[in-house]
Structure 1
Amino acid sequence: MSTAREQPDPRATLRGGLPDRYLTADDIAVIFKVPKETVYQWRKKRMGPPGFRIGKYIRYDPADVLAHVAERKRTDQDAA
């Protein structure tokens, strides 16, 4: 039995409900299946989910990520 706590797959956690922690750029890359550099470019261009700084680290509120996805879905449906 391993003593190290395993991190759940963020995609599964988001499907089941909001995670109990802020997400990292790595988490966002896994969720959207894009390279981490793409996540940083989205932030630079203000295209992706809104993130915020804690010291030198970028974090994402899961509620903001879900709201961003919902908005993208609405925008795509309106354009169709």
Structure 2
Amino acid sequence: MMATTELGTLSLSGTKKGVISISNVSEPYGKGTEDIVSIGISLNGKDIEWKSHIPYANLDDVIKILQEASEAKKKEEEQ
């Protein structure tokens, strides 16, 4: 049975009320399916407008790419 556990939330930059919520979802696609990380974006702080589901098997690679993107953006802004 699918179950969602909130792992954390943070303010969404550039909005007044927006939040990014990160959750673990157990059995997201039915009985026996592997847990995923769900990243939701809410512009009003309540209703999720966008959502990404990332399998834990892909999480380290996604984090690596996001860190590289962050570093590249910081270097770009320094110029």
- Which band: TM-score by shorter chain? 0.3 to 0.5
Greater helix proportion:
1
Greater strand proportion:
2
- Select the structure of larger CA radius of gyration: 2
Question: Which structure carries more relative contact order (alpha carbon 8 Å, separation 6+)?
Answer: 1
TM-score, structure 1 as length reference: 0.35
TM-score, structure 2 as length reference: 0.35
